[in-house]
A and B are shown apart, each in its own frame.
Chain A
Amino acid sequence: MAENILQVASLSKTYSGVKALVDFDFSIKQGEVHCLVGENGSGKSTFMKIIAGVVRPDRDSRTQILINGKQFRRLTPKDSMNEGIQVIYQDLSLFPNLTVAENIAMNQRIEENRKTVSWKEMRRTALDSMEQISVKLDPEELVENYPIAKQQLVAICRAITSGVQLLIMDEPTASLGKTDVEHFFKVIRKLKERGISALFIGHKLHEVFAIADRITVIRDGKRIKTFDSVSETNEHEITELMTGKKIDSSKRYESKTNGKPLMEIRGLSKSGQYSDVNFTLYPGDIIGIIGLTGAGRTELALSVFGLNKPDTGEILIDNKPVSIESTRDAIKNEIALVPENRLVQGLFTEKTIMDNVLITTIDEFRKYGPFLSKKEMVDSANSWIDKLNIKTPSAKLPVKQLSGGNQQRVVLSKWLATKPRILILDGPTVGIDVGAKAEIHRYIQEMAQDGIGIIMMSDEIHEVLHNANKILVMREGRIIKSADATSLDETDLMQLLQ
């Protein structure tokens, strides 16, 4: 039985009356990958910061922090590093304008307090650490010239040179594509072979299951359960534990499709983006288009919205061919889009909830000659806040102060206000908590039941599987599979995406 490299007991942290961590117990064995999963605000990051020595836990005689068998009363960042704990935060904390070698050797050189630079030695250090995890990067290349996945490897190499025993990573796969994730996992397994432990803080459960030895679920600052092996549990159980809510996994969305086709896409192509896309959307349909980043789904969404003119192909609405070349055509055809990048494209973050909700329909509030009716504007904004249950003290609150889930409700409101017939959702729940996700999904299904035709682009299997009645799988710009959701399951989709 391997020894615990880290063991904590009864760890609590209270921030001005709010309990971020409550009597938390946790341990990591040598050479183990332990995943800590929980929703945003569940206390994951607080725990990580305590272990890094950045945040001090509450005083409590029962609290114990044991690292490599040593007891720590007060853990400083320096103690933490000296014990071989290295934290890689989401922003990676690299120097983008320095070379790979400089970044990797940086910590070591600071520790040794050297005044001179030996480029040769630095290069050797870098190559050395890269070899340990079988990674090949050009040590002379500037870090900013590498994609995020490679930059992450640089951060790992830097941790290795600093003598890492326990690597803590905050949502390491958040911005990686599928192949990058696989490569990343290979690197982690290499580290494991060398007896290095890893603590992952994550929320993409299928990835957690692919790499974890043990899984601990945290909710409201409390340890809910630790599974000693991934075979003891499954994604649904973990989700339920994370949210504290029951979720039915066999559920599929059932379209009450009736009548004539709303929109038909025939042989739509745009070179370098997508080719020969065909599908038919009926009122009440939710068509889930699943594809990884770069599969062409966003480009397709923009083409239907008038922001990306296709090269060839036809779009028919109510059986009549239409051209959608600008957003004015989208208005004419009553097409709405919830874009992929909520904070840049979806919202005016500096502006109020009211401004954001009303932007699409502002012309309808002209009541006194050329002038707007403030009262009707406020009433309308408030009615949307009620309808979509947006949690806010006031319609005049800037949108940037809302949580991701509430922000997305604002985006949905602004489009529902236009009474669209066709609604395109591109990654509707990206970066939203599991609990809030379920509510967004419920709204989406309700909209479809009201007769809106919905096209939902996503890279999450569950999202598509449980919320769409038809599923199209998109890969490298092509639809490689088109089927009813009832005829598919998780494994089918997983295989198709690979």
Chain B
Amino acid sequence: MKQHNRSVSRVVYYILMFVIVFALFSLTIPGQFLSRFNLQSMAFQVPEFGILALGMMVAMLTAGIDLSIIANANLAGIMSAICLLKVTELYPNVGSLAIILVTVVVAVISGTIGGLFNGFLISVLGILPILATLGTMKLFEGLATVVTRGRPITGFPVEIQYIANETIGVVPVSFVIFLIVLVMVALFLKKTPLGFKIYMLGSNEEAARYSRLNNRAILLRAYAVSGLMAGIASIIMMSRFNSVKVGYGNSYLLQAVLVVILGGTNPDGGEGDVFNALFAILTLQCIASGFNILGFTDYMRNVIYGSMLIIVLMFTIMVPRIREMVKRKKETVSIS
């Protein structure tokens, strides 16, 4: 019961972090930050890297990482775009439902295959996740460049553009999709046997093996889920810009890792909560938009994100150590 209360109070920290950052920007640049335009544009931007961050989180829960997630999303978007344009070329009168279906199915399958390939390298061949996904990042990028010759593919039907550019009331459709995906990932991680096993495997791979878990199958599926997220994100990315292109959204990689760690996911695996991650995502979006309004350059933003990542990592390493020190002090006062 105690544990339960503690995890509830943790979410409160992340909400607090979001509220503070939000308030900070609201107070310093009230006119622009609180404008309907800015708030809505934030809601438009969150889904893209938010979904990528969820994929990254699943990989990191297994004590791994998926550096290829953006490249995988780009490749999935390109695959989907090519298939879509082929379909509309062959059947000019095809209906809206079919258009969306083709786009979604191809993107999701392509992303998942990319993820499965990562999972194969990591679980079957035993390559370190950071190296395996660094390799596939370049591989996916290369493949996408070869297929498109580096040129963007544009001109999708209006149905596709609708996904990321329309709103329901004031809320963007893509934001609703993001929330649905988020809830599904949360259910997957916390309420299914596979999710349970992902946490356990991430916490202690050897104990998992000795508990007769099929570590290979679990890792393979975790990376497939990460790839699936890349596939879903690719649909939103392609819709928002009405184009797909190699190298699009590369800056999201650092951001995705940053929000996952900012959201309290243990980089050593086994610990992390989707809802904590949500508030980390929202917080980072506030920072990104705030900086944008303040006119920070991309370079400056990189400096800040990079430093943030290092500072947060320092904290995640220091806090348990400090706690340990405090505990040891207490222990010398208790029975030895």
Interfacial residues, chain A to chain B (CB-CB below 8 A)? 15-16, 18, 20, 41, 45-46, 49, 55, 307, 327-328, 330-331, 337, 339, 344-352, 355, 358-360, 362-363, 365-366, 370-372, 374, 393-394, 396-398, 414
Contact = CB atoms under 8 A, between A and B. Distances in A.
Contacts of B204: 344, 347-350
A39 to B, nearest CB: 12
B37 interface: no
A374 B4 CA distance: 13
A89 to B, nearest CB: 12
Given A345-B210, A346-B207, A346-B210, A20 B193 contact: no
Which of B192, B211, B213: most chain A Cβ within 10 A? B211
Contacts of B191: 370-372, 374
B334 interface: yes
Nearest to B269: A350
A348 B200 contact: yes
Nearest to A370: B192
Which of B2, B187, B204, B213: most chain A Cβ within 10 A? B204
B221 interface: no
Contact of B192 (A360, A372, A396, A397): A372
20 contacts: A15-B335, A16-B333, A20-B335, A20-B336, A307-B209, A346-B207, A348-B204, A350-B203, A350-B270, A350-B271, A351-B270, A355-B196, A359-B208, A359-B211, A362-B196, A366-B193, A370-B191, A372-B191, A372-B193, A394-B2
A18 B335 contact: yes
B3 A396 contact: yes
Contacts of B192: 366, 370-372
Contacts of B196: 355, 358-359, 362, 372
A341 to B, nearest CB: 9
Q: Which 8 A-B pairs have the closest CB atoms?
A: A396-B3, A327-B212, A345-B210, A371-B191, A362-B193, A348-B204, A45-B336, A348-B203
A472 to B, nearest CB: 23
Nearest to A342: B207
Given A15-B335, A45-B336, A362-B196, A348 B3 contact: no
Interface string B189-219: 0011100110110011011111111100000
Interface of B: 1-4, 187, 191-193, 196-197, 199-200, 203-204, 206-214, 270-271, 333-336
Contacts of A328: 212, 214
Contact of B212 (A18, A331, A396): A331
B3 A352 contact: yes
Contacts of A352: 3
Contact of B334 (A18, A363, A414): A18
Nearest to B192: A370
A346 B187 CA distance: 28
B212 A330 contact: yes
A219 to B, nearest CB: 14
B334 A15 contact: yes
Nearest to A374: B191
A262 to B, nearest CB: 19
B39 to A, nearest CB: 35
Contact of A360 (B212, B270, B336): B212
Contact of B211 (A349, A398, A414): A414
Contacts of B200: 348, 351, 355, 359
Query: Chain A contact residues: over half helix, strand or loop, or mixed?
Result: mixed
Contacts of A350: 203-204, 270-271
A351 B192 CA distance: 17
A347 B211 CA distance: 9
B195 to A, nearest CB: 9
Given A16-B334, A363-B193, A414-B211, 5 more contacts: A55-B336, A344-B207, A351-B270, A358-B196, A359-B197
B333 to A, nearest CB: 5
Contacts of B213: 327, 359
Nearest to A418: B212
A344 B334 CA distance: 27
A362 B214 CA distance: 13
Nearest to B187: A371
A373 to B, nearest CB: 9
A337 B206 CA distance: 13
A51 to B, nearest CB: 13
Nearest to A344: B206
A397 B207 contact: no
Contacts of A331: 212
A362 B206 contact: no
A450 B200 CA distance: 30
A20 B334 CA distance: 9
A394 B333 contact: no
A366 B188 CA distance: 12
A98 B295 CA distance: 55
Nearest to A326: B214
A347 B208 CA distance: 9
Contacts of B211: 359-360, 414
B203 A345 contact: no
B207 A348 contact: yes
A130 B209 CA distance: 45
Contacts of A358: 196
Nearest to B211: A359
Contacts of A348: 200, 203-204, 207-208, 270
Which of A45, A307, A327: most chain B Cβ within 10 A? A327
B9 to A, nearest CB: 14
A367 B320 CA distance: 37
A402 to B, nearest CB: 14
A394 B2 CA distance: 8
A350 B270 CA distance: 9
Contacts of B209: 307, 327
Contacts of A330: 212
B192 to A, nearest CB: 5
A350 B334 CA distance: 22
Nearest to B4: A396
A394 B214 contact: no
B57 to A, nearest CB: 18
Contacts of A374: 191
B229 to A, nearest CB: 18
B196 to A, nearest CB: 5
A3 B192 CA distance: 70
Contact of B3 (A45, A372, A394): A394
A394 B1 contact: yes
A31 to B, nearest CB: 29
Contact of B210 (A18, A49, A337): A337
Contacts of A18: 334-335
Contacts of A362: 193, 196-197
A325 to B, nearest CB: 13
Given A360-B212, A362-B193, A396 B336 contact: no
A15 B333 contact: yes
A284 to B, nearest CB: 24
B2 A396 contact: yes
A348 B191 CA distance: 19
Contact of B207 (A307, A347, A370, A398): A347
A27 B204 CA distance: 47
Which of A362, A365, A372, A397: most chain B Cβ within 10 A? A362
Contacts of B187: 371
Contacts of A327: 209, 212-214
